Amino acid sequence: MPGVDDVDRRIIAALRTNGRVTYADLGRQVGLSASAVHERVGKLETTGVITGYHAVVDPRTVGLGVTALVGIQLSDNGEQEEVATSLGRQPEVESCYAVAGDEAFIVKVRVGTVDELEHTLGRLRRLEGVSRTRTTVVLSTRFEGRPNPVEHYGDPDVEQAGR
């Protein structure tokens, strides 16, 4: 588990910005041959730094115009792991974070209509181990999943030592 060096960071930044750049282009951007970049990207993938490449779709264009953030409280005997698993089975739940505070999870839900939201919330509330939900409706997404700028990528070791 080696360090991610400076060239890797620039490769990562480029791939976060455009996940479909060719290795040839990437090489031009970072000043390496296509084969060298190919090799490095392969290593970043197998070491788990890059976990995948995904097209991002405007949810409204595919009938998912309603987004909500939902806090999930466990019941007294609620098992955190089991609830997490159940949440993972709900297709409307796009992201799931275990959080500090009196809620066990905050999840992001995407559905087509408020009708559907009502349905989905009912389903979440009825999951084994869940006592309460608290829903915040998203009115508009200003920006989302923005690639963090390059200068914010660092070697984890350096980060921990240096502050």
**Binding positions for a copy of itself, 90-149, rule CB under 8 A:** 91-101, 103, 105-106, 110, 112-113, 115-116, 136-149
Q: Is 145 exposed, middle or buried (0-12, 13-18, 19+ CB in 10 A)?
A: exposed
- Asked if 113 interacts with DNA (CB under 7 A), we say no
Residue type, 9: R
126 binds, among a copy of itself, DNA, none (CB under 5 to 8 A by kind): none
d(CA 125, CA 121): 6
> Contacting a copy of itself (CB under 8 A), which of 46, 52, 76, 77?
52
Taking Cα atoms as reference points, which of 61, 58, 56, 127 lies closest to residue 93? 127
Q: Does 2 bind a copy of itself (CB under 8 A)?
A: no
- Cβ pair 103, 136 in contact under 8 A: no
Residue 22 makes contact with DNA by CB under 7 A:
yes
The residues that touch DNA, with contacts defined as CB under 7 A, are 2, 7, 22-25, 32-36, 38-40, 42
